[in-house]
Amino acid sequence: MEILAFGVQADEKPLIEQAFVAPHEVRCLDVFLTEDTAPIAAGHEVISTSVNADLGGPVLEALAAGGTRMIAQRSTGFNNIDLDVAERLGMTVARVSSYSPYSVAEFAWTLALAVNRRVVRASTRTRDFDFRLDGLMGRDLHGRTAGVLGTGKIGEAFTRIAHGFGMRLLGWDVAENPACMELGMRYVTKERLLAESDVVSLHVPLMAETWHLIDAAALRTMKADAILVNSSRGGLIDTAALVAELREGRFTGVGLDVYEAEAGLFFLDKSLEAISDDTLARLVTFPNVLVTSHQAYYTADAVGEIVDATVRNVVDYSAGRRSENVLVPRN
């Protein structure tokens, strides 16, 4: 059986091709799954998709009409998939329930440190042989407060790094993580966490309850000189409200690896096109904002684990087995 993999990056292609062995073969495509590209999957019982694939109702209908019966998504998040439609169509859907939490946690700190110490601005200056320090002053993190919204595996890894910096730790989640508490974390309300934290990092999944978790009111609650980092899902932040706060000169820095309207932009080369997204265009102009293209997970270790889990999902489907990765089981 040939598996068709959509949205494969150049760096991950050899990992995917090496992981699939007979009787399963894989064909990698660099195009992303959309309503326009869905017909390419015709005749393929199993497809694999990336996190920015469009798996809404119309795309699922097109896939099912072409004979697709199983979708193996190469990510933990699945807010892009209409699971109700998939179930109605009798399609099996699986994801990667976990992979290296260190990849995302370390990158979240990379963003925090970069905006705190003005690394991008400094690098740009030195390329022009401008070695002044004006405007590059940062702050020690030691002794300051880190607020972690979501203390699962990734949030815990982020907390351990914060503990290594010697920071005070505040957490917010539906369930307390004993490992974080052993590090000295104190669980508080979201409002208190935002009001007291010098660094706020988001590590919660995107669902109806967390959509715009950081809205205008939440942003106004934060310290004016706080650092905000989001390496989870773009929809957690009301970006228009964030731009409004930035225009008022608030926040030492904002590091975003995700954006709520990133589909159709991230992972693609848009350098020769006019960007019609006015909110994103304005966001990247702020000198204290750093935006990256959803790359926090992108380490050889994490991608290797994602690919291995995806292969297992396909093998389990073929064998009629069900694992914790299955979102919609096989009929």
Helix axes 153-165, 101-116, angle to 10 degrees: 40
Asked about 233 being catalytic, the answer comes back as: yes
Name all contacts of 171-176 with Cβ < 8 Å and 24+ positions apart: 171/147, 172/147, 172/148, 173/149, 173/204, 176/151
Phi and psi of 191, rounded to 5°? Answer: -65, -45
Whether residue 169 contacts residue 184, with contact meaning beta carbons closer than 8 Å, is answered with: yes
- DSSP tag of 173: -
Torsion angle of C-alpha atoms 291, 293, 294, 300, degrees rounded to 10: -120
Check 95, 233, 245, 260 and give the catalytic one.
233
Alpha-carbon distances of 292 from 8, 98, 297, rounded to whole Å: 18, 22, 12
Cβ-based burial of 132 (10 A; exposed 0-12, middle 13-18, buried ≥19): exposed
Q: Give dist(CA 95, CA 79) in Å, integer.
A: 11
> Is-contact 34 305, C-beta < 8 A?
no
- Yes or no: say if 39 and 275 are a contact pair by the CB < 8 Å rule: no
Within the chain, strands assigned E span 2-5, 25-28, 46-49, 70-73, 92-94, 145-149, 168-172, 186-187, 199-202, 227-230, 253-256, 289-291, 326-328
Catalytic residue among 12, 156, 260, 262: 262
Say which DSSP state 331 is in: -
Catalytic residue among 74, 95, 250, 294: 294
Calculate the CA 58 to chain-centre distance.
Answer: 24
Contact 45, 287 (CB under 8 A): no
State yes or no: is 262 an active-site residue. yes
Looking at the annotation, which residues are catalytic? 233, 262, 294
